[in-house]
Structure 1
Amino acid sequence: MDSLATAAGSAVAPLLEDFSLEMTGKDISGLDGARACIPPGTRINITFLGNEDPGTRLAAARAVRRSGCVPVPHISARRLRSRSELDAFLAALRSDGTADNVFVVGGDPATPHGPYDDSLALIRSGALRAHGVRHVGISGYPEGHPAIAHPVLWSAMEDKTAALAGDDLSGDIITQFGFDADPVLAWVEEVRGRGIDAPVRIGVPGPAGIRRLLTYAARFGVGTSASIARKYGFSITNLMGTAGPDRFIRALAGGYDPTRHGVLKLHFYTFGGIENTSRWIADFRAAEGVPSTEGTGGLHRSLP
């Protein structure tokens, strides 16, 4: 291996040592195909889609656990119709042995379907701890949110991390994906400047069609100017190809300073499918000279 590959690998390795993935309840067959490429102990988030029922989400969490990975079911606060619905879902997770880790999000509905206006209300309900949850992920938005003002986002993050600490729950922050590493790193510095020291998992789009990437970016308010697109590695005038996050990850690794940014890891959104994304990660790690090691869920090994 030449010295350039070794240097690149040494910079990228800390971000990839404990990466996480995302899937939906419909991706169980893809998970089976990807198993050989996913290190045991990898955290796999399971999204809370409005068109999937609880049984589908529970089946996905069981499949992740069977694969030797760590299931992280999502809970969408505004989609819950009642406290009893929340209790039933958490009780089912606990019965399956998949309740240790969850991710809470406000959710898409403009009007709550039940008693929870946002993920903070869900955390403050006490239901998570009561049902055996030990670790909770929350959202971060380096480029802001199309429907929520910046001051509100910062206040919510501070309140959620404080509420988790008050409930003796550990947590991490998973960010929305983006195409430009510079605003992401600047945002993480502000997170640390506000006294929030939770690990941050930087959202990364797995390899996917350019048209699909731009569609998701428009939905979530992610910047896609021509200069950002070129920096990432695609052209907004040519939508026929695919793009992977290799340039973004290298740029992130190049600017990452643990003394300023704390613990950073990568979280892959599998827009092109969990199997394709997992294979891409394995190939990228090999190309960058990152040692092939088994996943351990290392950020959370100290959990009781």
Structure 2
Amino acid sequence: MEDLGRRPPRVGVPSYPDGHHRIDDDVLWADLRVKQFHADYTVTQLCFDADLVLRFAGEARERGIDLPVVAGVPGVVDAARLLRLSVRIGVADAARFARSHRRTAGALLRPGRHTPDEFVRGLAAGPAAGTADLAGLHLFTFNQIEPTVRWLSQARRAAA
């Protein structure tokens, strides 16, 4: 990017609080350390565990990553679609995820819509919330923009 001479005004790079199904954790951390000199922030990839995102943000600081960490949050989307997408992109090992996140896994298996409510509450109240230093939220809409915007508007009104 530096050699191109025309850098976008802001650049974000991905990070993986739950690891990556094809890339070793040590490689992910090394790559993020190098990328931080070319980026303005990092966005965590799809994850359903707020505590894991908070621990990741803290570990990033311990590993010398000083990019602002933006938590990637699944927006309002059909639960079955979100589950299919999660399996396809390798969000955690399915059996491990189901065992340790029974409530979320159960919600994804029921018909209806997934909302970010529980995850966002977990980010705000999790054990590491006070030390995680999250810079904000990035809502993954999965092309379900209208319901996610409605949810965001309601959440903003409730917080005011």
- The TM-score with structure 2 as length reference comes to 0.86
CA distance in 1: counterparts of 2:9 and 2:112, whole angstroms: 42
- 1:1-304 equivalences in 2 (<5 Å): 123=1, 126-127=3-4, 130-162=5-37, 164=38, 171-223=40-92, 224-231=97-104, 234=107, 236=109, 238=110, 240-255=111-126, 256-257=129-130, 260-271=131-142, 273-287=144-158, 290-291=159-160
Aligned-pair CA distance for 1:194: 1.1
Aligned-pair CA distance for 1:220: 2.3
Q: Which letter maps to 2:36?
A: T
Match of 1:85 in 2: none
Larger CA Rg, structure 1 vs 2 = 1
Q: What secondary structure sits across from 1:144 in the alignment?
A: coil
Runs of 4+ in 1 over 3 A off after TM superposition: none
- Structure 1's unaligned 5+ residue stretches are 1-122, 165-169, 292-304
Aligned-pair CA distance for 1:210: 1.1
Which structure has the higher relative contact order (CA within 8 Å, separation 6+)? 2
- Structure 2's unaligned 5+ residue stretches are none
Q: 1:148 to 1:180 in 2, by over 3 A?
A: same
Bigger helix fraction: 2
Q: 1:138 to 1:283 in 2, by over 3 A?
A: same
Q: Indicate conservation of the 8 Å contact 2:21/2:90, yes or no.
A: yes
Describe the superposition over 1:125-158 as per-residue Cα deviations: whole angstroms up to 9, x where unpaired: x21xx12423211110000111111111000000
Aligned-pair CA distance for 1:198: 1.3
Q: Which letter maps to 1:157?
A: L
**Number of corresponding residues:** 154
Q: Which letter maps to 1:220?
A: I
CA distance in 1: counterparts of 2:61 and 2:70, whole angstroms: 14
Q: What fraction of aligned residue pairs are identical, expressed as a percent?
A: 38
Q: CA RMSD in A?
A: 2.0
Match of 1:83 in 2: none
Q: Which letter maps to 1:254?
A: A
